[in-house]
Each structure stands twice: as structure tokens, then as C-alpha cells.
């Protein structure tokens, strides 16, 4: 693969610079170390092929319906050029589709940059990534921290094998583990940072004992990004923090509990079509009746994501609005209750 893709090196380098300029123009990549990583790591090596929904351009993101495959060795030069443009467009790329269902993707570069900035890594930090994907995010981490401090894990052996191959082609060799990311990676612990690139239904309890005190966890939950700080207190090992304002849509975690979806029966269309309400509905699914969630949302004047947070302590975890000990709190991780 390396020899075949080397001929794209010069146009790819310019495409990377253009991608970085686009992200910076929107206020991203405030850390020069992450800017250097996105300028240096060749994303096209991690997506030698990908899928786009028919009728969509790669920059439109991952749509629904039948998929069209774009790849680096297409005999049609126009389609090869389209593949390369898509590899550096600021959009997500569907990299694995099974029985018409998306099971793995390469995330939107600007969102990846935002998450890496929010991870707040320091030199010497050991990082666990949940969800190996193409290996591209692990390569960015390895560029910043070094191979020995980066571990990426995925439940699907085809995904980990592919990620390992892509990483080697780009010159990176972090630890790539096949296993259930919900259980973490105890043999590589302790970690200073955990970052998930798949949507969680709740925060896996197994992660906390694998974190050093002061560790930071950044993970997609519902349709947002939760940033937790790990510490020890009278309750034992605890993680607590708020959501970022950023919306985030990822492929659900496989291997742990399935992601939950809120039920919308009987709710007004104006609420169902509101992105912030759908965030709250998914976050409270299984704990609050959808109409209770709607009442809360309207009573609190349609709160933004960063007013919500999560606390994980002992064998319990709960989401909350404004205050972890306040009147608006509900458990996470319960089985979904039918409306």
C-alpha cells in the first residue's frame, strides 16, 4: 500500500495544509503541537478507501442509504482525485459498512482537533483511545506523545489489524489492542488520559481504576462530549465534569452496553426536531419519561449542553443539570424503559 500511495504525497501535503488552514479559520487548533500533527500525519494513508452515500459529496459527511466506494487505486483518474479530495475534506468518512450499516468511520478532522485540544495532554501522559477506527487519531496522538505512551483498543479484529497496518505505513507503532473498550486496557494502565471515539450509553466503571488521580476522560455521550476529571474523595475514586457545547455524533460503542435512544411518541414536532432537546432526550432515556424531559427542557429555557454534567462514583453514576447535588439529576446506565 505504501508504494502505491507515495505518488499522492505532494498533492496530499498541500491538501493537508489547506485542511489545517480551514480548521484554524474556524478557531480550531489553538495548540501548535496538534497543528503540527495534523500537518504532518498523512490522513490519506488511513483511508485508502471509504464510502459515500450516493448523491453526496465526501464533504457532506456520512449520509444514509446506498454507499459508493471511493479508493486510491481506482483506474479512473477523476475518481482517484475525488478520493484524495475527500480524504482531506473537513468531514467524516465511512470506512466500514457491513450489511448496509456503518460500523466504523474516520471522524471529521475539525472535531478531532477540538477533542485533542480538550484532552489537555501534557508531555509524558499515557493515553488510552477507545475505538481504533482507521488508526488516524492514534497516529496524531503518537505524533504528539510518542508511540510508547499511546494505546488504542477496538473489539473488532478486522478494525485493529487494519489500523495497525495503516499506522505502520505512516511510520507509527503505538499499542493496538483487540478487546472490549468498555473494559479499558488494564495491562497497559495506568492512564493519564482516556479518549473515546465512539458514542457511549454511560461511562464504563472499569475505566476509573485504570486512571491516575487527576486523569481526564473525554467521551461522546448522547450527542455531546463529556469531559470528566478523575480524583479520589470520601466516596472513593470519582470522575465528574460537564459537557462541552460541541455537538458530537459517532458510531456507537460495540462490545459494551448498546447505546440508548429516546422514545418520541406523543411529543410535539417542534421539540423532536430541536437538536438540543434530542440531546436531553437521549441523556435521560430510561430514567425520565419523555414528557418529563420536555417539561424540564421548557422550564429551564432550553439549556445548552454545557449546563449538563455527569458524576461517576463507586457503582453509581448520574447526569445532572447545573449542580451534581441539585434537584435535577437522574441515573445513567439503567435499562431503557418503554414509554
Phi, psi angles (nearest 5°) of residue 87 = -60, -25
Task: Please check whether residue 101 is in contact with residue 51, taking contact to mean a CB–CB distance below 8 angstroms.
Answer: no
pLDDT of residue 9: 83
DSSP, res 46: G
**Cα separation of 191 and 128, whole Å?**
7
pLDDT of residue 255: 55
Handedness of CA 111, 113, 114, 119 (dihedral sign): positive
pLDDT of residue 65: 53
Phi, psi angles (nearest 5°) of residue 139 = -65, -40
Extents of the domains making up the chain: 2-188, 261-339
pLDDT of residue 3: 53
C-alpha cell at 233: 474523595
Catalytic residue among 104, 110, 202, 287: 104
**Cα separation of 224 and 233, whole Å?**
27
Q: Is 104 a catalytic residue?
A: yes
Low-confidence ranges of the chain (pLDDT < 50): 1-2, 4, 56-64, 256-262, 334-339
Task: Please check whether residue 236 is in contact with residue 126, taking contact to mean a CB–CB distance below 8 angstroms.
Answer: no
Domain 2-188, classified CATH 3.40.50.150, yes or no: yes
**Cα separation of 285 and 298, whole Å?**
17
**Cα separation of 139 and 160, whole Å?**
13
pLDDT of residue 6: 65
pLDDT of residue 58: 47
DSSP, res 248: -
Amino acid at each position: 500500500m505504501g508504494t502505491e500511495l507515495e505518488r499522492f504525497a505532494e498533492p496530499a501535503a498541500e491538501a493537508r495544509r489547506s485542511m489545517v488552514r480551514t480548521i484554524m479559520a474556524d478557531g480550531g487548533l489553538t495548540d501548535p503541537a496538534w497543528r503540527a500533527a495534523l500537518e504532518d500525519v498523512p490522513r490519506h494513508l488511513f483511508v485508502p478507501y471509504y464510502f459515500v452515500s450516493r448523491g453526496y459529496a465526501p464533504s457532506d459527511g456520512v449520509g444514509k442509504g446506498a454507499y459508493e466506494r471511493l479508493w486510491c487505486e481506482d483506474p479512473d483518474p477523476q475518481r482517484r482525485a475525488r478520493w484524495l479530495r475527500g480524504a482531506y475534506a473537513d468531514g467524516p468518512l465511512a470506512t466500514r459498512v457491513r450489511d448496509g450499516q456503518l460500523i466504523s468511520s474516520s471522524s471529521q478532522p475539525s472535531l478531532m482537533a477540538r477533542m485533542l485540544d480538550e484532552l489537555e495532554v501534557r508531555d509524558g501522559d499515557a493515553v488510552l483511545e477507545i475505538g481504533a477506527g482507521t488508526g488516524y487519531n492514534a497516529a496524531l496522538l503518537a505524533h504528539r506523545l510518542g508511540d510508547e505512551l499511546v494505546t488504542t483498543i477496538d473489539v473488532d479484529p478486522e478494525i485493529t489489524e487494519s489500523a495497525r497496518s495503516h499506522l505502520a505505513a505512516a511510520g507509527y507503532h503505538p499499542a493496538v489492542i483487540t478487546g472490549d473498550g468498555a473494559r479499558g486496557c488494564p495491562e497497559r494502565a495506568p492512564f493519564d488520559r482516556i479518549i473515546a471515539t465512539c458514542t457511549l450509553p454511560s461511562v464504563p466503571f472499569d475505566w476509573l481504576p485504570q486512571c491516575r488521580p487527576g486523569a481526564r476522560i473525554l467521551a461522546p455521550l448522547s450527542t455531546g462530549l463529556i469531559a470528566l476529571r478523575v480524583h479520589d474523595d470520601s466516596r472513593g475514586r470519582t470522575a465528574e465534569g460537564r459537557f462541552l457545547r460541541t455537538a458530537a455524533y459517532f458510531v456507537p460503542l460495540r462490545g459494551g452496553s448498546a447505546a440508548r435512544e429516546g422514545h418520541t411518541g406523543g411529543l410535539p414536532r417542534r421539540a423532536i426536531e430541536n437538536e438540543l432537546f434530542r440531546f436531553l432526550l437521549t441523556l435521560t432515556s430510561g430514567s425520565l419519561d419523555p414528557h418529563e424531559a420536555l417539561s424540564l427542557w421548557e422550564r429551564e429555557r432550553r439549556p445548552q449542553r454545557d449546563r449538563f454534567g455527569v458524576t461517576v462514583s463507586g457503582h453509581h453514576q448520574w447526569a445532572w443539570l447545573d449542580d451534581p447535588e441539585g434537584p435535577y439529576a437522574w441515573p445513567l446506565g439503567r435499562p431503557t424503559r418503554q414509554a
